[in-house]
Amino acid sequence: MTSNPSTRTLGVPGFTADYNIHWNWTPARFYETAVQKENAEVATGGALVVKTGKHTGRSATDKFVVRDAETEDKVWWEAADHISTEQYNALREDFEGHMHGLTLYGQDTFGGADLEHRLPVQIITEYAWHGLFVHHLLRQPTADELKSYKPEYTIINLPSFRANPARHGVRSETVICVNMTDKIVLIGGTSYAGETKKSVFSIMNYLLPEKRVMPMHCSVNVDDDDNSAIFFGLSGTGKTTLSANPDRTLVGDDEHGWSEHGLFNFEGGCYAKMIRLSASSEPEIFATTKMWGTVLENVVMDPETRELDFDDATLAENSRGAYDLTAIPNASPTGRCGQPKNLIMLTADAFGVLPPIACLTPQQAMYHFLSGYTAKVAGTEKGVTEPTATFSACFGAPFMPRHPVIYGELLRDLIAEHNVNCWIVNTGWTAGPYGTGHRMPIKATRAMLNAALDGKLTNAAYRKDENFGFEVPIAVPGVDTALLNPRGTWSDGAAYDAQAHKLVEMFINNFAKFESHVTDDVKAAAPHAA
């Protein structure tokens, strides 16, 4: 592997010059340079601590797709912002000019552990610590694979670049621009490393459906008998916590594909939230913060003692840690497993309406996948206690370029083809809404999940939920039976009915945009107020 700048060309339209690029550095080289030149610091235990400035999360309103013959009929433009080819050409010209004189870091990587469906992506970063992030989060070629490596896509990330809204057709100085024709992503004006990882994800989500491979924003684990499980869920639903199970192997925590070969991780690492992290609640993730190699974004550190303070949100609520999957003791070394036996959709229902677990038909699974529901309690520090419903199609709408129904139909077909058991699990509130009830006991949630994954609910007795129509088990081993009927946990049954009616209406109103795109059996899976 080279240590001196290379004159290797990128092979991308408009980027034909020789640039000052160091290719395929080791983590140690990235570490050294980040500390010497980029104000990165080393914490007690060896983690690399960095600050991203004003951008501490994704810049969702600054993401654009080039609208051209390739994307016109494939991208769901109702949910995607676009620029023209002419505007992109101006952006590319300015981007290319900005690269001259910069020292850059290039890496040959793969998105995807499935050898047939993986995507070769060369990633160019301006920051050495971004290079270390990429080394963790993407999958690295072997020495033999590097000899014949040919990238299909290119991502160039230049935080010091500033976009020109008038010239480039964008909203601000920050830009994330995807050109599917030229097979390139240009990222500028943000130091938040997650933009690179999510750009690879968006490309995979665009390409794979045409190969009948389902891309998913989910976590996956598997037992010793290759019985795998998919966990969908928006932020705050417990996806990372519940998929981390000492009795099961973690395949991955965020991005996966479902192919004819089974499930496979897109990534080689994890990008975990750090805020309020503790050794007692998340021991495996906490341990990575004491490891050499981990990149900690916007985590507060004492400059003298180099001790970390995960409770301090001064720099960001969205503080993050990036580390290789090998840092997790029971992580899969291959990133692959067989066809799933169970699929779980997690929701944190702050209205206290949904049961703690229910079984879904393939049609109901498609309906709830397209809905992507959870509820959040926003602004509690200001005394606002009314929960807010959040619907994100496919449990990851910002990263799914095509129409959600394309992903939903593919999921439904795969569920039916492989006879997958589907469940919706409420990790939110019971005995009333937020402010009146209480959070679903994590011990009970784990017991219900274990019963489902172990096949103990296959022959159980069920009742039909009168609002949502799915089947709710009457009893689950190790769980208080009263918990399984949410209406019975409320002190006022009429108040529950009124709240349930409101939630059903929210689902119906949200799904209206999909009504004309789905089949009658999926429409019939919609909830109906009792």
Given the residues 63, 198, 248, 412, the one annotated as active site: 198
Q: Check if 198 is active-site.
A: yes
Which tokens in the block code for residue 12? Answer: 């991308």
Given the residues 51, 58, 63, 336, the one annotated as active site: 58
Q: What are phi and psi of 425, to 5 degrees?
A: -125, 125
Given the residues 235, 385, 439, 523, the one annotated as active site: 235
Q: Check if 502 is active-site.
A: no
The CA distance from 361 to 327, in Å, is 37
**CA-atom Rg of the chain in angstroms:** 23
* Residue written as token pair 């080689």: 268
Cβ count near 226 (within 10 Å)? 12
Which tokens in the block code for residue 373? Answer: 């529901």
Nearest CA among 194, 208, 297 for reference residue 256 = 208
Given the residues 254, 324, 349, 465, the one annotated as active site: 254
26 by DSSP, 3-state: which?
coil
Given the residues 118, 183, 239, 368, the one annotated as active site: 239
The CA distance from 298 to 493, in Å, is 46
Q: Check if 142 is active-site.
A: no
Q: Check if 183 is active-site.
A: no
Given the residues 320, 402, 403, 412, the one annotated as active site: 320
The string of DSSP codes covering 119-159 is EEEEEEESSHHHHHHHHHHSBPPPHHHHHT---SEEEEEET
Q: Check if 58 is active-site.
A: yes
Q: Check if 235 is active-site.
A: yes
Write the single-letter amino acid at 322.
Answer: A
Q: Check if 326 is active-site.
A: no
Given the residues 217, 248, 403, 487, the one annotated as active site: 217
Given the residues 240, 288, 319, 347, the one annotated as active site: 240
The CA distance from 367 to 518, in Å, is 9
Residues in the chain: 530
* Residue written as token pair 């190969």: 211
Count CA atoms within 13 Å of residue 83 on its CB side.
Answer: 28
Q: Check if 197 is active-site.
A: no
Active site residues: 58, 198, 217, 235, 239-240, 254, 320
